[in-house]
Amino acid sequence: MLQPLTAQQNKRSVAEKSGLHPRNKHRGQYDFEQLIQVNTKLAEFVRLNDYNDASIDFANPQAVKTLNQALLKHFYNISDWDIPEEYLCPPIPGRADYLHYVADLLSIVNGGVIPYGKHIRVLDIGVGANSIYPLIGQREYGWQFIGADIDPIAIVNAQKTVNANIGLSEVIKLRLQTSPTNTFTGIVQKEEAFDISMCNPPFHRSLQEAQAGSARKWQNLNKHTGKNQGKNQSKNKEKNEPILLNFGGQNGELYCEGGEDAFVNRMINETTIFKSQCLWFTTLISKATTLPSVYRALKNAKAVTVKTIEMSQGQKKSRIVAWTFLNATQQKNWRNKHWSIK
C-alpha cells in the first residue's frame, strides 16, 4: 500500500526530468497518488524506494503495464488499453517525445506553427499491439494515423483498443503488412499522401543480443541509482536463464536479421519509391554507431534534406533521423495542397 508522501518527497516528485521535450507531459516525476486515483490496480505495485520516493519496480512487466494504463488514462483519456502477454510495453515519456519532435518538424513548413487536426496524416511503421504513437499523437495533436504491422495479433489487439475508445476508430486505421521484407510497399496505396512517417525499428540482431542489452541496462541503472531493481536480472544471468525484458517484446519487435542498421537501410531504399507521397520520412535510431551507414544510404538515395534530432530520457540516449525528397518550394506546395482544411 502506498504510504503518504512527506513534503520533501512531494518536492522531489515534481522535479523535472532532464532531456525530455518541453511539451512532454511527463517531464515531472510520476505523481503516483494521482495515478492510483485513475487506476487503483497500480497501488499494489507502488513502494517507497531507497530514496524514500514512491516508485514501482521497473523490472516487473506487469507493474510497467499497469503504470502505462494509468498514464494513458490520466493524460490522454485512453480509458481502455491492454496488450497481450510478452508484447512490447513501451515507456510512454520517450514515445511522447518522438511525437512532439515530429510536430516541430512539421511546423517548419508552416511558419513555425504546429499543424493540428485530422488533415495531418501520419504513417506508423510497426504500430505494434500497443499502438502507442497513434493513441498519443491523436490525443495531443488531433492527427489521423495509419498503423502498419507484420504481426496479425498486434493488429487485432491495436484494433481492439481503437474500437474501445470513443472517437478513435474514425481517425486511426490499421493495416497488415503481408511482406516481412517491405515497409511501405503493400501499405501505402496509389496516390495516397502522408505528411510524416514514423518508425521504431527493431535494433538488435538476435534474441541473445536483446537479452544482453537488457542486462547492461539494469547494471547501469543500479550503478547510477543505487536501486535494487536489477538483482533478479543478475541472478538470471549467473544461472544462464533468460534475461527478463521488462518492456516485453515479440521477436519482430526486438530484433531482425542485420539489426537496426539493416532494417533502416532497407527502409531508406524503399522510400525512394514513395518520395512524392510523403513530406517527411523519420525513424528512431537507438545506436549512434548506426548513423554513418544511415547517412550513406540517404546520400545514395539522394535525399534533399536530412535532419538528426537528439533525444534523451534519463540514461537512455537516442535520436530521430528525418529526411525528405522535396525541396523548399515543393514543401510549400505540399502544405498548400494538403493542409487546406476543407
Mean pLDDT, to the nearest integer, of 53-72? 94
CATH number at residue 318: 3.40.50.150
Mean pLDDT, to the nearest integer, of 103-128? 97
Report the distance separating Cα 172 and Cα 329, nearest Å.
30
Contact 154, 127 (CB under 8 A): yes
| Rg of the chain (C-alpha set) | 20
The answer to whether residue 295 is domain-embedded is yes
Could you list the residue range(s) of the whole structural domain that residue 142 is in?
93-205+249-338
Q: How confident is the model at residue 203 (pLDDT cuts 50, 70, 90)?
A: low
The answer to whether residue 183 is domain-embedded is yes
- Grid cell, residue 189, equals 496505396
The answer to whether residue 179 is domain-embedded is yes
* 34-45 per-position pLDDT tens digit: 999 999 999 999
The answer to whether residue 5 is domain-embedded is no
Per-residue confidence (pLDDT) for residue 202, from 0 to 100: 83
Per-residue confidence (pLDDT) for residue 240, from 0 to 100: 41
Query: How many other C-beta atoms lie within 10 A of the C-beta of residue 342?
Result: 3
Per-residue confidence (pLDDT) for residue 17, from 0 to 100: 58
Longest dimension (CA), the chain: 62
The answer to whether residue 59 is domain-embedded is no
The answer to whether residue 82 is domain-embedded is no
Q: Which of 79-83, 202-206, 313-317 has the lowest mean pLDDT?
A: 202-206
Report the distance separating Cα 291 and Cα 296, nearest Å.
9
Q: State yes or no: pLDDT of 110 exceeds 80.
A: yes
| Closest alpha carbon to 85 in 248, 315, 295 | 248
Per-residue confidence (pLDDT) for residue 236, from 0 to 100: 42
Per-residue confidence (pLDDT) for residue 256, from 0 to 100: 56
Task: Give 26-38 as a DSSP string.
Answer: TSBPP-HHHHHHH
How many domains is the chain partitioned into structurally?
1
Q: State yes or no: pLDDT of 126 exceeds 70.
A: yes
pTM above 0.75, yes or no: yes
Q: How confident is the model at residue 25 (pLDDT cuts 50, 70, 90)?
A: very high
The answer to whether residue 218 is domain-embedded is no
Contact 42, 32 (CB under 8 A): yes
The answer to whether residue 102 is domain-embedded is yes
Higher-scoring residue by pLDDT: 163, 11: 163
Report the distance separating Cα 193 and Cα 202, nearest Å.
25
* 152-184 per-position pLDDT tens digit: 999 999 999 999 999 999 999 999 999 988 999
| Burial state string for 151-176 with b = 16 or more CB within 10 A and e = fewer than 16 | beebbebbbbbbeebeebeebbebbe
Task: Give 288-341 as a DSSP string.
Answer: GGGHHHHHHHHHHTT-SEEEEEEEEETTEEEEEEEEES--HHHHHHHHHHHSS-
Q: State yes or no: pLDDT of 327 exceeds 80.
A: yes
